[in-house]
Structure 1
C-alpha cells in the first residue's frame, strides 16, 4: 500500500485501541493494527481449553458505576451476572474479601459490627505519620488482619519487605461492617458470556491486522497512516532516554485438572509469604461452568526487566517524575498519541481504559455518543 493509506496506525491490539477502532469504523476511518503477540485482545485474551474460557493473562472482571460506559460495552457483548467475591487462604483457613463481617466472624468469632469495630480499634497502631507500608496498614486495620491477610501477599506482590514500601501505596483499606462479599462497590459488573475475545473481533473487524510484528523494530509503519496511537511503553518508545520506568510483571502457570471443581471459587489469594504464588484462579467459575474438567492458573508476581511483559506501573515519586519528562516529549509530537496503561503509565481499570479511549477519539474527531 502507498503512503498514508490509513487514517490510523494502532500500535497494540488491547482494549484501548479496540475501543478507538470501534469508533473509527463508525466514521468510515481506516485502521492498521500492529500487534507483537500472536493474537488480538491484549491482556484480556481468552483461550478455550477443555471448553473453558481461560483468562491467559490473569483475571479480568469488568466493573463500573458509569452507566454510559456500561451501556456502551453492552453493545459490544452480553455480560453474565458474575459477582467478584474472592477468598484469602492463610494457613489453610479461608477468609472473605474484602474485609467484612464474615471475615471478622471467622477471624475472631465476633457476631456484631460493634464488637468488630472495638477489636480493630484495640489493635490499631496509634501513629500520626506512618513512615512505611507496614506502619500505615497497622494504623488502619491492626495486627491480626495485617499479619494474616495483608503482609505476606503485599510483599509477594511488590517483591519487597513491607517496611521498605512507601506508606502512600495504601491510603485506605476497604472495611465493611456488613456481611457483603461483593469485592466491588460499583453499580455494574460481570464477564462477557463466552469470554472477552468477541469484543475484539467486533471492534477490529474492519481493520487490517498484522500480528507477530514488533512496532519498535518497524517504526516505518507510521508512514502508512495519518496518525498513530501508541499503547506500548512510553519509555521504550523514547529508547529509555530518561531511564526506565518501573513495572511489576506476572508469571502464569496453567494446569488442566481431571476434576470438575478444584477450589469452589474463581479467585483465592494466598497470603502467606512462604507460598510463592499470590493467587489461584479457577476459570470455569467466572462463567458458572459445569465442564467435567477444570483449568487453574497459579499467578506469580515477579520483577520486571526489559523483555518481560509489563503489567503494573510502580507509581513511586521517582517514577512519576521520570514519566513527566516522557510526557513532555509526547506533547510535542505531531500526529502521535499515547494511550492505555503503558502509554500513560497509569493503572487503569477496564472502564477507565474505555473512557480514556473514547475521550481521545472525541478530542481528535468530535462528539462520541454514549
Structure 2
C-alpha cells in the first residue's frame, strides 16, 4: 500500500475548513483542501463587482462576544466599524430593527419607554390566555397583532415557505424588545466587516496551504481518501452516507444581483420586505457594508425557497424528525471504518445553523481535540 501524501484531506474550503487547515499547517501537518466550487471561502466568498465586494451568498456580518474568536480573526485581518442596523419595509413605510424605541414610535407614535410598554401590553392583552401552538399564536402572544402583521407574518412565511399557522411556535421563543433608541441588530461586543472583504480573511487562513478548487469529492472519493491519513469532511452528512436513512431537510435561497447606474439605491446595507406578496425577503446594497463611495452600486434581491439538489442548503430545519435522522447519521459516523479515518465538522456536517463566530469556535475546538 502506498504511503499517504498528506496528513489531512479537508473536503470543503469554507470557513470551518480554512481554520482547521491553518491550525493543522501551523502544527507541521501536511494538508490538502478541495472544494467543488471554483473559489475558496464557502458562503462568505465575495465577488468583486464595480470595485465593490459583493456578498455572493447573502449578507455576512461578523459579530461575536467571544474574545478568543475576535482575537483569532484579528491576527489575519483588520475590521471596519460597520454596525448592522437593518430596516424593514411594509407598504412603503420604514421601520427600524430590531424592535426598539424607533420602531415603537414608527408603529404607534409613542415617545417614551413607559408609553411603549403600555402599548405592547395593550396589544398582547387579547392573547394573554393563549397556549401557543404555532408561530402565529406565539407572535400574537408575545407582541400583539399590529407588530405581528406588519413586521413578522409575511417575512417569516416567505422565509419558511408555509403559513405561520403551520410553523412551529419554538421558531420565535421570544421577541426582543429594546426600550432605547438603539438600532444595532446584535448585542455582541465586537462587530464589523473585514477590511478588503471576507476573501482577505480566507486567503490569509489558506496561505501556504495546498488548495484545489473545482474538485467534486464524490466523483473520486475512493482515490481522494487514499491521499491522506485522515479526512475532515465539512459537507452534508447525509450526502456522505449516500442518504441511506433519508435526506435531511433545508431551506434554500437564490439571489438576483444587478449593477445600478446610481450612487446610492436604498441608503442602507439591508432592507427587509415584510409583505407576503413581495417575493423576496430583503434587498442588500453591498457598498454600504464597507462605506463605499463608488459611482455605481450593486444590489441583490434574496429569495427563499425549498432546497433541492440543484441549489445550496442554507438553513437546516431542526425539527424532531430531522434531528432524529441526524442522530442516526452521527451514530454511523462513530462506527468502523469511519471512526478512525473520518472526522466531521462545520454547519452542514453538524446540521446546525452557525454564525461565523460559532464556526470558528467549533473549528478551533475540533483542532484542539484532533491535534492535541
Normalising by structure 2, report the TM-score: 0.97
Whether 1:62 aligns to 2:26 is no
Q: Distance in 2 between matches of 1:306 and 1:295?
A: 28
Shift, 1:335, TM fit: 2.3
Whether 1:342 aligns to 2:348 is yes
Number of the residue aligned with 2:172: 170
Number of the residue aligned with 1:232: 235
Q: Distance in 1 between matches of 2:284 and 2:41?
A: 20
Which of 320, 323, 341 does residue 320 from structure 1 map onto?
Answer: 323
Helix, strand or coil for the counterpart of 1:239?
A: coil
Whether 1:277 aligns to 2:269 is no
RMSD, aligned α-carbons: 0.9
Shift, 1:9, TM fit: 0.5
Shift, 1:205, TM fit: 2.0
Which of 196, 199, 206 does residue 197 from structure 1 map onto?
Answer: 199
Number of the residue aligned with 1:5: 5
Helix, strand or coil for the counterpart of 2:75?
A: helix
Helix, strand or coil for the counterpart of 2:128?
A: coil
Number of the residue aligned with 2:119: 119
Number of the residue aligned with 1:21: 21
Shift, 1:224, TM fit: 0.5
Kept in 1: contact 2:234–2:346 (CA 8 A)? yes
Helix, strand or coil for the counterpart of 1:228?
A: strand
Helix, strand or coil for the counterpart of 1:334?
A: helix
Kept in 1: contact 2:130–2:137 (CA 8 A)? no
Number of the residue aligned with 1:358: 364
Number of the residue aligned with 1:30: 30
Kept in 1: contact 2:22–2:209 (CA 8 A)? no
Helix, strand or coil for the counterpart of 1:194?
A: coil
Shift, 1:119, TM fit: 1.0
Which of 282, 288, 295 does residue 292 from structure 1 map onto?
Answer: 295
Q: What do residues 24-55 of structure 1 show as CA deviations (whole Å, max 9, x unaligned)? A: 12112111111000000100000110000000
Q: Give unpaired runs (5+ residues) of structure 2.
A: none
Q: Distance in 2 between matches of 1:349 and 1:102?
A: 27
Shift, 1:128, TM fit: 4.7
Q: Structure 1 residues 200-209 or 58-67, which shifts more? A: 200-209
Which of 308, 313, 333 does residue 310 from structure 1 map onto?
Answer: 313
Kept in 1: contact 2:270–2:284 (CA 8 A)? yes
Number of the residue aligned with 2:148: 146
Kept in 1: contact 2:254–2:303 (CA 8 A)? yes
Q: Distance in 2 between matches of 1:182 and 1:105?
A: 17
Q: Distance in 2 between matches of 1:99 and 1:233?
A: 35
Q: What do residues 98-122 of structure 1 show as CA deviations (whole Å, max 9, x unaligned)? A: 0000000011000011111111111
Q: What do residues 32-83 of structure 1 show as CA deviations (whole Å, max 9, x unaligned)? A: 1110000001000001100000000000000000111101100011100000
Q: What do residues 145-191 of structure 1 show as CA deviations (whole Å, max 9, x unaligned)? A: 10000000000000000000111111111111110000000000000
Q: What do residues 264-296 of structure 1 show as CA deviations (whole Å, max 9, x unaligned)? A: 000000000000000000000000000000000
Q: What do residues 78-105 of structure 1 show as CA deviations (whole Å, max 9, x unaligned)? A: 1000000000000111100000000000
Which of 135, 138, 159 does residue 136 from structure 1 map onto?
Answer: 138
Shift, 1:129, TM fit: 2.2
Which of 265, 270, 280 does residue 267 from structure 1 map onto?
Answer: 270
Helix, strand or coil for the counterpart of 1:276?
A: coil
Number of the residue aligned with 1:71: 71
Number of the residue aligned with 1:217: 219
Q: Structure 1 residues 61-70 or 331-340, which shifts more? A: 331-340
Number of the residue aligned with 1:180: 182
Q: Distance in 1 between matches of 2:272 and 2:334?
A: 40
